[in-house]
Structure 1
Amino acid sequence: MKTLSNRTRTLLVAIAIAVGTTTAATPAQATSSLAPAECGDWQVETVAQGLEQLENLEPDGEGGFYLSGDTKVYHVDAAGQVRTVLDGMFAPGGLQLDGSSLYFLTRQDGMLHQLDTTTGKSEELGSFPGNGLLRLPDGDLLTTWVGTEGFSSKGISRYFPESGDFTENWATVPRSEGLALSPDHRAVYTDDLFTGQIVRVPLDSPNEWTVVGRLPGFLPGPDDLTMSQEGMLYVTAHIEGAVYRVDPNTGATCIVASGLSGGWTGPSSVRIGPNGDDWALYVTAFDGTLRRLVPPADVDLAPVEG
């Protein structure tokens, strides 16, 4: 199908770019030949499986999640029960919930949609191509467009809902994929699928972005990321089949979980969500599985406060 051929082509291009950029690495970005340390004893559990290849997820505020697949938007409740919310969509991608409104992108036709989760009514808000999607505290939406769906990268773009204006390349970060808000709400973080770099983008000066780290290895393929209130980033390495923790202050990395169905079927998105009275990481993958990664007791995994 079309999405498969586009993403397969992207992985081949990623390898070529990674080879071409290895000589340009700075000391802060250089990778060690040693395997990264593990981030303690995290437990991996399956929440739901047998779904379409999953691109993104968003907590519903009640212990469940909305998930985007090849053609569907799913809802998984706190008990793990799955229902299809929308079907026949053109490759839904990034998801963001604001009250009862679920905003989501469709990657193959480049549209932004709004779903009323109470009534089930969905409407198109306009042309808004992107992979990742993030709602800022002021209500504006950011999107990334890495170029995997047959178009060139547009860095990070910004949508202003009140006016309907859309600014392409609001931040000219190359090949941007995921998006995460910092605890102080002064910056967003994104990742580069091809080079493995993690980038900080100040909201008040978006083109003064800086590289704060890099996932180790030849081609980990960071696809999405989220951030804890403590200031740690959690990043899915799609091609490697792993989830990393990255300290953006030092660039230090460690492995949260590995062996999560790598290559084409690897992890695609990660969010912090409730797990009883505590928190866990929830990870989607192209193998159609939603997984829960339960941290050790000494890890503070509270999400960034909106």
Structure 2
Amino acid sequence: MGLSRNRTRALLIVAAIAAGTAAAATPAEATWTTAPMCGDWQVETVAQGLEQLENLETDDNGGFYLSGESKIYHVDAEGQVRTVLDGMAAPGGLQLDGSRLSFLTRQDGKLWQLDTTTDQLSAPADFAGNGLLRLPDGDLLTTWVGTEGGPSKGVSRYQHDSRTVVPNWAAVPRSEGLALSPDHRAVYTDDLFTGQIIRVPVDTPDAWAVVATVPSPVPGLDDLTVSRDGMLYVAAHLEGAIYRVDPETGKSCVVASGLSGGWTGPSSVRIGRDGDGWALYVTGFDGTLRRLVPPAGVELAPVR
């Protein structure tokens, strides 16, 4: 419960800062504009009535692994839900490599490995964080925005060969989600407080740079993913929306809005199979997994 209170407080601070900024600005000073819609995306419910959902990961068979408040779920391609693990200390980011599912528990700062063929857990390693991303060399990155307790730690790196942690590998402020660029040369992350999207070069993580800002006074950015054509899809938790952002131009549009909002808003977004095509899948703190089906002409495929 302490973890949830910390993050709730941070999101409320985001809203208060944005509200104060808007109240102080005159119309001539306003900097936020409403992003246009990205076409007619269809929103469908895949599963609901689950715990507060933090993250998701595709299983490469049309289904997903989901992290709840204390559970790891699996949802198959038909929408059937199974509890894989229970009694976990606030599971967070998920990454699947073959049959090995890596995930973090945020309350005790541990990294776990689950064999998805046997549901057996390995001994945990110390790796405190929230978001999780596997790099092509097998190392893992995590984020620690500061709402989990203590100051922000930017992006940290877990070196899988030595089982050692490089803290503040990229000292970006208030980092939340993580996504790998199509060319594998950079990682994208987002700032919970400012709505900024940040690009971190893998070889020179200190040379990180802001590439875009979501045009909303209170987005509360939580997570993001990248499509093969280089577009970013970003979960705006407080606003209850999903944005598409072009990191080359900084331009953005709204894929879907009204996906709950405030504390119960979207927490994670991934690209997954939808029959013969692809769709966006979104978890929310309202315990719902949603599918966002793109309109014709939208190129949507995950980074490999």
Q: Measure how far apart 1:151 and its partner are.
A: 2.1
2:251 is matched with 252
- Output one character per residue of 1:72-97: Cα deviation in whole Å (capped at 9) or x when no partner: 00000000000000000000000000
Q: Secondary structure at the match of 1:195?
A: coil
Q: Measure how far apart 1:31 and its partner are.
A: 3.8
Contact (CA 8 Å) 2:225, 2:234: kept in 1 or not?
yes
1:264 is matched with 263
Q: Measure how far apart 1:19 and its partner are.
A: 7.1
- Count residues in correspondence: 297
Within a 5 Å distance, the mapping from 1:157-236 to structure 2 comes to 157-236=156-235
Q: Measure how far apart 1:12 and its partner are.
A: 2.7
Q: Measure how far apart 1:283 and its partner are.
A: 0.1
Distance 1:67 1:255 in 2: 24
Contact (CA 8 Å) 2:32, 2:217: kept in 1 or not?
no
Q: Secondary structure at the match of 1:219?
A: coil
1:51 is matched with 50
The one-letter amino acid of 1:200's match is R
Closer/same/farther in 2, CA of residues 16 and 31 from structure 1, 3 Å limit: same
- Output one character per residue of 1:179-198: Cα deviation in whole Å (capped at 9) or x when no partner: 00000010000000000000
Q: Secondary structure at the match of 1:52?
A: coil
1:290 is matched with 289
The one-letter amino acid of 1:3's match is L
1:110 is matched with 109
1:8 is matched with 8
Which has the higher mean CA deviation after the structures are superposed, 6-15 or 56-65? Answer: 6-15
Q: Measure how far apart 1:5 and its partner are.
A: 1.3
Q: Secondary structure at the match of 1:177?
A: strand
The one-letter amino acid of 1:7's match is R
1:25 is matched with none
Q: Measure how far apart 1:4 and its partner are.
A: 2.8
The one-letter amino acid of 2:149's match is G
Distance 2:32 2:218 in 1: 13
Distance 1:189 1:44 in 2: 25
2:120 is matched with 121
Closer/same/farther in 2, CA of residues 199 and 67 from structure 1, 3 Å limit: same
Moved beyond 3 Å, runs of 4+: 15-22, 30-33
Contact (CA 8 Å) 1:111, 1:124: kept in 2 or not?
no
Q: Measure how far apart 1:20 and its partner are.
A: 8.7
The one-letter amino acid of 2:11's match is L
2:25 is matched with none
| Unpaired runs of at least 5, structure 1 | 23-29
Q: Secondary structure at the match of 1:50?
A: coil
Q: Secondary structure at the match of 1:207?
A: helix
Contact (CA 8 Å) 2:54, 2:284: kept in 1 or not?
yes
Q: Measure how far apart 1:125 and its partner are.
A: 2.9
Q: Structure 2 length normalisation: TM-score?
A: 0.95
Distance 1:172 1:72 in 2: 31
Distance 2:285 2:91 in 1: 13
The one-letter amino acid of 2:106's match is R
Q: Measure how far apart 1:14 and its partner are.
A: 2.5
Distance 1:290 1:229 in 2: 23
The one-letter amino acid of 1:128's match is F
Contact (CA 8 Å) 2:3, 2:149: kept in 1 or not?
no
Contact (CA 8 Å) 1:21, 1:195: kept in 2 or not?
no
Q: Measure how far apart 1:11 and its partner are.
A: 1.4
1:63 is matched with 62
Distance 1:272 1:120 in 2: 24
2:135 is matched with 136
Closer/same/farther in 2, CA of residues 68 and 20 from structure 1, 3 Å limit: same
1:27 is matched with none
Closer/same/farther in 2, CA of residues 212 and 279 from structure 1, 3 Å limit: same
Which has the higher mean CA deviation after the structures are superposed, 209-218 or 3-12? Answer: 3-12
Distance 1:31 1:144 in 2: 28
The one-letter amino acid of 1:117's match is T
Q: Structure 1 length normalisation: TM-score?
A: 0.94
